[in-house]
């Protein structure tokens, strides 16, 4: 099975990807997480990507596609993959469509999680994430703390961080970039009969149930 998660920043792609990964045992491929690790480790790719990410712009397609090909060559992708944050534009979608992993798989879905810009701003201003296992959190929910009062990851115990691109100016630019590219992407996946649109408002569990429901009726 191939699942592509589309949606604005803060729509809950990462949150739902964690659930879908466990449910379907798919390899979770998040270009944002891969890029953040590259920036943290100051790799060549990380150094090239950082200025684009800091500004809320798309990292050049050539870099992204290299990352995707490297990731897809790992053995955990043999049963399918869950793409989170990729593709972001038509050129990336076309490149993905030409890969064997997509060509040979009959069950493929592009799930667009829709939320308003105001909801994005509300969510991202309270977001924390685990720099080790990438689990997303929000300060509006209960989060575990260590003895010093730092927020920690319930999954691996790492101290949580906020993302460098979650300031209001960068969020606005990320939204603008998203709105520039989403209409052609919707058309593209609609023509390929892969597009499923989901309301992203509700608790993460409610949104997850909506996604499962649509995947199950579309697979049967
Ligand atoms: P990326 O990491 O992909 O960021 P994004 O698309 O902006 O999406 P986010 O990770 O911000 O949000 P999300 O939808 O995953 O939401 P989350 O689950 O965390 O990309 C970052 C940058 O990398 C880009 O700007 C670009 O520079 C570069 N990049 C990445 N991929 C690229 C590509 N393919 N091409 C070019 N450049 C690329 O949830 C957000 C918050 O909301 C959390 O606090 C969460 O707890 C909360 N939340 C989640 N669901 C709900 C809910 N149902 N109700 C209430 N709160 C919720």
How large is the average pLDDT for residues 74-79? 89
Predicted confidence (pLDDT) at residue 101 exceeds the cutoff of 90: no
Q: How far apart are CA 39 and CA 31, in angstroms?
A: 12
Q: How confident is the model at residue 106 (pLDDT cuts 50, 70, 90)?
A: confident
- For the segment 162-185, what is each residue's pLDDT rounded down to a tens digit? 999 999 999 999 999 999 999 999
HSE (CB half, 13 Å, CA atoms) of 132? 9
pLDDT at residue 220, as a whole number: 77
How large is the average pLDDT for residues 1-27? 96
Question: How far is ligand 1, taken at its centre, from the CA of residue 128, in Å?
Answer: 11
Q: What percent of the chain has pLDDT over 70?
A: 100
Residues with CB under 6 A from ligand 1: 7, 9-15, 31-32, 35, 52-53, 56-59, 64, 85-86, 88, 92, 123, 127, 136-138, 165, 174, 202-204, 207
Predicted confidence (pLDDT) at residue 103 exceeds the cutoff of 90: no
**Catalytic residue status for 62:** no
pLDDT at residue 193, as a whole number: 93
Helices and strands in the chain: count of H runs, count of E runs: 9, 7
Q: How confident is the model at residue 97 (pLDDT cuts 50, 70, 90)?
A: very high
| Residue 155 · residue 182 · CB < 8 Å | no
Predicted confidence (pLDDT) at residue 79 exceeds the cutoff of 90: no
* Residues with Cβ within 8 Å of residue 113, at least 6 apart in sequence: 5, 6, 7, 11, 12, 13, 16, 198, 200, 207
**Catalytic residue status for 36:** no
Predicted confidence (pLDDT) at residue 15 exceeds the cutoff of 90: yes
HSE (CB half, 13 Å, CA atoms) of 177? 17
Q: Tell me, what DSSP letter sits at residue 140?
A: T
pLDDT at residue 219, as a whole number: 82
Mean residue pLDDT of the chain comes to 95
- For the segment 43-65, what is each residue's pLDDT rounded down to a tens digit? 999 999 999 999 999 999 999 99
pLDDT at residue 57, as a whole number: 98
pLDDT at residue 211, as a whole number: 98
Question: How far is ligand 1, taken at its centre, from the CA of residue 10, in Å?
Answer: 5
pLDDT at residue 167, as a whole number: 95
Q: How far apart are CA 220 and CA 204, in angstroms?
A: 24
Q: How far apart are CA 129 and CA 152, in angstroms?
A: 9
- For the segment 180-208, what is each residue's pLDDT rounded down to a tens digit? 999 999 999 999 999 999 999 999 999 99
């Amino acid at each position: 099975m191939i699942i592509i998660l589309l949606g604005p920043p803060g729509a809950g792609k990462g949150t739902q990807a964690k659930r879908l990964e466990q449910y379907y045992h798919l390899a979770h491929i998040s270009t944002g997480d891969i890029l953040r690790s590259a920036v943290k480790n100051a790799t060549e790719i990380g150094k090239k990507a950082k200025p684009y990410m800091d500004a809320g712009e798309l990292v050049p397609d050539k870099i992204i596609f290299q990352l995707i090909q490297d990731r897809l060559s790992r053995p955990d992708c043999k049963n399918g993959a869950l793409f989170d944050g990729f593709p972001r534009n038509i050129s990336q979608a076309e490149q993905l469509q030409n890969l064997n992993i997509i060509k040979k798989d009959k069950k493929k879905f592009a799930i667009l999680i829709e939320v308003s810009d105001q909801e994005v701003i509300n969510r991202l201003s309270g977001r924390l994430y685990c720099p080790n296992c990438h689990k997303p959190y929000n300060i509006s929910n209960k989060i575990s703390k260590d003895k010093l009062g730092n927020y920690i990851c319930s999954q691996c115990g790492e101290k949580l961080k906020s993302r460098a691109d979650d300031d209001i100016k960068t969020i606005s630019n990320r939204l603008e970039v998203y709105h520039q590219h989403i209409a052609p992407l919707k058309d593209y996946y609609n023509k390929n009969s892969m597009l499923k649109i989901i309301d992203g408002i509700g608790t993460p569990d409610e949104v997850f149930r909506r996604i499962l429901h649509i995947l199950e009726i579309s697979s049967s």
